[in-house]
């Protein structure tokens, strides 16, 4: 058994040598083997011929060839050098000495050149053999692949050879397939396409890739992708070598993706909001019909547009910064102003969210026209303000006057009772005093409901009185400052909005932030009026989206109604800072 195994190993080594593949040995072992083979050649020369018989290189040629084929070029060069040295020393005159001349030098040169040529040829053979072996392994792996069918047919379409994967695709046995041609498996509707592919094969030497169907033995149709090449066989005849891939799963996935894409596109195109998707450059890549109608553009015109082309509120650089932040992750809800194609503008609320698809960043935007909502809100707020002013006037001119009359009558009655020394004088005087307090409360309420109405629309006086009342009523350290850099030219409704914002901010600072110092500043310049309220309270904490309070929302809305910029946040030295800037009319 051991001898048989050794015999098999020897046969394998010889087979590898004959195929030009060499034998697998370590690096230093290759050079040792070269030395051993040269030594064998030297011993053979001593055994075969006398030392002075000439033919000094006759046994070294096989040694060099064997080294070149078995272990490669480097050891073969070493074998050439050693062989030349041995032949020179032992078999070329002068014997037992190095150094040759004349014919012996020519023989050494010829041996060196022949050995070098042998090394080069051996290297080429080994490289070509290795490449052929690798190619054969790749082709064998492809042929034995379980999911890729390979078939060889003659020019009439008859199957000559095929792999198991192809047989499984068709559902026939080997004998049944060899009795068929591909025309028998191809539905009639593909005949014209098949003839075109055959024409391309004869013209270019290859065909495909293209898709068709085969009819399986059980009658079911299987979708395929085919490509192949024209081959010339040993008999000189042409053959078709085809690669056939079953694409059933891919087709099912494509149908699923197409269905989902159509459904998503339908949802997108018919969305009630103005949906649009921006790429990483901020350009529209998809948009709903509603968005196109909002702006008055066709869909072809909208694709590729940048927000700076329709946004009438934010400059382009700010828009780019916002898009970059959204693409980095996160969602944002904000309001802005859209400009239609013909130039008119309308208010919208935007919900924007960044997402990634195939390693590309996008921003999903949903725009809702809030023009009607804002109109209704404005109408409600204006109606509320009108009602407050009416109640204020009614309190002042109605209840206030009546209370004043009661106070005068009570005071007069108390004086008469006191003059008559009657015991009810003190009680009537107390009624007059309480009535006076009621008059003050009534006037205070009236001023709160319609503050500018009692200062003839003077915003500065109204703010000063509001601060004074808050200071006297609640004992807080409240201060008011006016910076007059120009004339106040705001209309009455804008002044009323500024007053309400200041009133709400002061109330919030005192009631919720527990501030003990509140500074109200009105800065008037020729182009801008800035209202600022600073406090030393607990600081600003942004309320959650579902917070029940509406004071902050109303302040923001009042600012929007007069085209002002509203901000609220932490102050530079703690507490909260509220600011509202509105442009002056020309």
Q: In 3D, which of 327, 329, 325, 345 has the Cα closest to residue 337?
A: 345
Question: 252 with 260: CB under 8 angstroms?
Answer: no
Q: Low-confidence residues of the chain, pLDDT below 70?
A: 1-26, 53-54, 96-97, 99-104, 135-136, 139-146, 268-270, 377-378, 380-404, 407, 410, 414, 425, 432-433, 436-457, 545-549
* pLDDT at residue number 461: 86
| Residues β-bridged to residue 336 | 348
Supply the DSSP symbol for 543: P
- pLDDT for res 12: 53
- DSSP assignment, residue 491? -
| Helices then strands, each counted (H, E), the chain | 19, 15
CATH number for position 152: 3.30.450.20
Residue 16, number of CB atoms within 10 A of its CB: 16
Same domain, 108 and 18: yes
Would 399 be classed as within a structural domain?
Answer: no
Contacts 24+ apart (CB under 8 A), 453-456: 453/389, 453/392, 453/393, 454/396
Indicate whether 415 belongs to any domain.
no
**Strand-pair category, 565-570 with 576-583:** antiparallel
For residues 181 and 153, is the Cβ–Cβ distance under 8 A?
A: yes
**348 Cβ neighbours under 8 A, 6+ residues apart:** 274, 294, 335, 336, 337, 338, 367, 368, 369, 370
Cα separation, 582 vs 485, in Å, equals 15
Domain end: 369, 404, 420, which one?
369
H-helix or E-strand spanning residue 335? strand 331-339
Structure tokens at 333: 């809800």
Tokens of 26: 């370590």
**To the nearest 10°, the Cα dihedral for 323, 324, 328, 334?**
-30
| Alpha-carbon gap, residue 490 to 50, rounded angstroms | 129
φ/ψ of residue 437, rounded to 5: -65, -40
Q: Indicate the angle between helix axes 459-474 and 492-511, nearest 10 degrees.
A: 20
What are the pLDDT digits (tens) for 406-451? 767 767 776 777 777 777 767 777 776 677 666 666 665 655 555 6
**Domain match, 16 and 138 both:** yes
Joined together, the tokens standing for residue 130 give 């290795």
Residue partners of 485: CB distance under 8 A and separation at least 6: 523, 524, 525, 526
> What was the pLDDT predicted at 449?
56
> Are 110 and 180 in the same domain?
no
Given a contact cutoff of 8 angstroms between Cβ atoms, the answer to whether 205 and 230 are in contact is yes
Domain range holding 174? 144-246
CA 127 to each of CA 24, 78, 381: distance values in angstroms, whole numbers, following the listed order: 15, 20, 90
266 in a structural domain: yes
Place of tokens 């080294």: 67
* Residue 214 confidence (pLDDT): 92
Q: Are both 221 and 330 inside the same structural domain?
A: no
Both 240 and 272 in a single domain?
Answer: no
Residue 443 resides in a domain:
no
Q: Is residue 307 part of a domain?
A: yes
Domain boundary among 142, 176, 205: 142
Length of the chain, please?
586
The domain tally of the chain equals: 4
Task: Find the CATH number of the domain harbouring 504.
Answer: 3.30.565.10
* Three-class DSSP category at 235: coil
Please tell me whether residues 259 and 152 are part of one structural domain. Answer: no
Residues 119 and 221 in one domain: no
Residue 279 host element (H or E): none
- SS3 breakdown of the chain: % helix, strand, coil, rounded to 5? 55, 20, 25
**pLDDT at site 297:** 94
Q: Tokens for 362?
A: 């996008």
Verify that 167 and 286 share a domain, yes or no: no
Residue identified by tokens 């030098």 is 105
- Nearest alpha carbon to residue 215 among 158, 171, 161, 168: 171
Instruction: Pull the structure tokens for residue 183.
Output: 């025309």
Tokens of 484: 């007059």
What number of other Cβ atoms are within 10 A of residue 339's Cβ?
Answer: 16
- Tell me, yes or no, whether 462 and 585 share the same domain: yes
Specify which residues 519 forms β-bridges with.
479, 534
For the stretch 504-542, pLDDT in tens is: 899 888 888 888 899 999 999 999 999 999 999 888 887
Q: Which of 108, 142, 176 is the last residue of a domain?
A: 142
Same-domain status, 267 and 155: no
Is there a single domain that holds both residue 289 and residue 200? no
357 sits in the region (left: phi over 0; alpha: psi -120 to 50; else beta) called beta
Is 421 part of any domain? no
Whole-number Cα distances in Å, 438 to 9, 394, 571, 581? 121, 15, 39, 38
- What are the b/e assignments for 268-284, b being 16+ CB within 10 Å? bbeeebbbbbbbeebeb
User: Could you tell me if 490 and 585 are in contact, meaning their C-beta atoms sit under 8 angstroms apart?
Assistant: yes
In a domain, 343, yes or no: yes
């Amino acid at each position: 058994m051991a001898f048989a195994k050794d015999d098999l190993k020897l046969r394998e080594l010889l087979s590898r040598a004959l195929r030009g593949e060499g034998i697998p040995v370590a690096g230093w072992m290759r050079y040792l083997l070269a030395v051993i083979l040269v030594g064998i050649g030297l011993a053979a020369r001593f055994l075969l011929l006398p030392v002075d018989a000439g033919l000094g290189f006759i046994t070294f040629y096989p040694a060099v060839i064997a080294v070149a084929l078995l272990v490669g070029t480097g050891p073969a060069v070493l074998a050439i050098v050693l062989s030349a040295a041995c032949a020179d020393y032992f078999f070329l005159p002068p014997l037992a000495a190095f150094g040759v001349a004349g014919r012996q030098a020519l023989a050494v040169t010829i041996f060196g050149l022949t050995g070098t040529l042998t090394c080069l040829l051996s290297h080429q053979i080994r490289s070509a053999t290795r490449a052929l072996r690798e190619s054969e392994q790749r082709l064998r792996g492809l042929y034995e692949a379980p999911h890729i069918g390979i078939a060889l047919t003659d020019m009439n379409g008859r199957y000559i050879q095929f792999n198991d994967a192809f047989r499984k695709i068709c559902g026939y046995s080997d004998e049944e397939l060899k009795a068929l041609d591909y025309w028998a498996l191809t539905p009639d509707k593909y005949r014209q396409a098949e003839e075109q592919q055959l024409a391309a094969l004869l013209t270019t030497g290859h065909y495909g890739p293209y898709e068709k169907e085969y009819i399986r033995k059980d009658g079911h149709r299987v979708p395929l992708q085919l490509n192949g090449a024209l081959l010339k066989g040993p008999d000189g005849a042409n053959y078709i070598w085809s690669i056939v891939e079953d694409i059933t799963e891919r087709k099912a996935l494509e149908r699923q993706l197409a269905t989902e894409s159509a459904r998503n596109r339908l949802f997108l195109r018919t969305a009630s909001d103005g949906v649009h998707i921006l790429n990483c450059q901020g350009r529209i890549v998809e948009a709903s019909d509603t968005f196109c109608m909002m702006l008055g553009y066709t869909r072809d015109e909208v694709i590729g547009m940048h927000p700076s082309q329709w946004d009438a509120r934010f400059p382009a650089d700010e828009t780019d910064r916002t898009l970059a932040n959204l693409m980095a992750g996160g969602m944002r809800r904000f309001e802005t102003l859209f400009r239609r194609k013909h130039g008119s503008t309308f208010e919208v609320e935007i919900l924007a969210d960044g997402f990634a698809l195939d390693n590309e960043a996008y921003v999903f935007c949903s725009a809702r026209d809030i023009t009607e909502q804002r109109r209704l809100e404005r109408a409600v707020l204006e109606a509320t303000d009108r009602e407050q002013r009416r109640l204020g006037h009614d309190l002042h001119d109605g209840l206030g006057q009546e209370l004043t009359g009661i106070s005068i009558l009570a005071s007069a009655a108390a004086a008469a009772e006191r003059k008559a020394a009657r015991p009810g004088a003190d009680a009537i005087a107390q009624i007059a005093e309480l009535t006076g307090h009621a008059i003050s409360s009534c006037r205070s309420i009236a001023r709160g409901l319609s503050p500018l109405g009692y200062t003839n629309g003077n915003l500065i006086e109204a703010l000063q009185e509001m601060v004074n009342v808050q200071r006297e009523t609640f004992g807080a350290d409240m201060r008011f400052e006016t910076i007059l850099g120009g004339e106040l030219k705001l209309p009455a409704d804008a002044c009323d909005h500024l007053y309400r914002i200041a009133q709400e901010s002061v109330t919030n600072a005192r009631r919720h932030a527990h501030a003990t110092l509140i500074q109200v500043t009105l800065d008037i310049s020729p182009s801008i009026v800035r209202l600022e309220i600073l406090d030393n309270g607990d600081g600003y904490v942004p309320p959650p989206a579902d917070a029940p309070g509406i004071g902050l929302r109303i302040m923001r809305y009042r600012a929007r109604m007069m085209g002002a910029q509203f901000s609220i946040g932490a102050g530079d030295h703690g507490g909260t800072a509220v600011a509202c800037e509105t442009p002056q009319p020309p």
